Amino acid sequence: MNVLVTGANGFVGAALCRTLMASGATVFGAVRSKSNASGLPGVHPIVMNLEDLSSLDVVANRLDGVVHLAARVHQMHETVADPLDAYRAVNTRATENLARWAAANGVGRFVFLSSIKVNGEGQDFAEAPHVYTEEDVPAPQDPYGISKWEAEQSLQQIGNDTGLETVILRPTLIYGPEVKANFRQLLRLVKTGLPLPFSRVNNARSLLYLGNLVDAICVCLNHPKANRQTFLVSDGEDLSTPELIRGLGRAMDRSVRLFPVPPRWLNGIGRLTGRSSAIQRLLGTLRVDSRKIRQTLDWQPPYTVWQGLSATAMAHLQRINEDRQLARAA
């Protein structure tokens, strides 16, 4: 099987490429520069910009599948004048162009990594919880989510027009070794052993371990019943913030001390410090029902959430030890 993976050097892409090659697939990795391909042994790199698909001529009519992971993701410090157009340029229009190229060049299946943000942002601590499903009316609330939803609609239309087999995945929060952003910050915080003010947080969040996502993508590349489907994907084991913190603490052999602070106070602190979004993710609920992919494709996550958290925490500790060794050697 010949597969093109865009964003091949990313958090998800690198893990997917390794798994695909281990299964015997020939993997072509779309990257932005040669240096990005240095950590992808065995992958055939294609240096390209999503706005110019001419570099893909070398694999024209040779691909069985495309997994489109590359995207413009959340920007902590947005600098462009029109953020929505910037997201649309990469996440919507470039996805449309790549899908049309795939249809014109005999690709059998196109798997698109969308986002649970198409469904919405979950509920804050004061709202009644809701479990998202594929049947919900999409309600994206930020430019990233809007651009992903528009890309989904375009893919469905392209599939109808051309016969291209499309599969859309909406993952929840993805974690795993080398995770970055807020999850890495939480790992660092738990490792300190400092008391944390979350014992009164009574929420639930669906998470998705990297190994489970990669396995789901591989199944969607091949399963006949995946065609024209949209799936919400998660580990299937929802955790509260206190449960997540305690799980990470156990994995890192760190004692976890939680003390009570009213969620409203924490929310107010978040607004005052400019960390409202990060605090909301710790306080709010975002749950999905991922039964559809399990029942339709007979898929089961190969890893439990506890196995995923343990692997993530151990990789974090290993990275810290390696950094210390490098510092001593310098």
- Is 144 catalytic? The answer is yes
Query: What SS3 class is residue 303?
Result: coil
Catalytic residue among 132, 144, 175, 209: 144
What are 149's two structure tokens?
């939803």
Residue with tokens 């559809």: 292
Q: Considering only CA atoms, which of 30, 29, 169 is closest in space to residue 111?
A: 169
Dihedral, CA of residue 147, residue 150, residue 156 and residue 159, to nearest 10: -70
- Could you give the residue numbers annotated as active site? 144
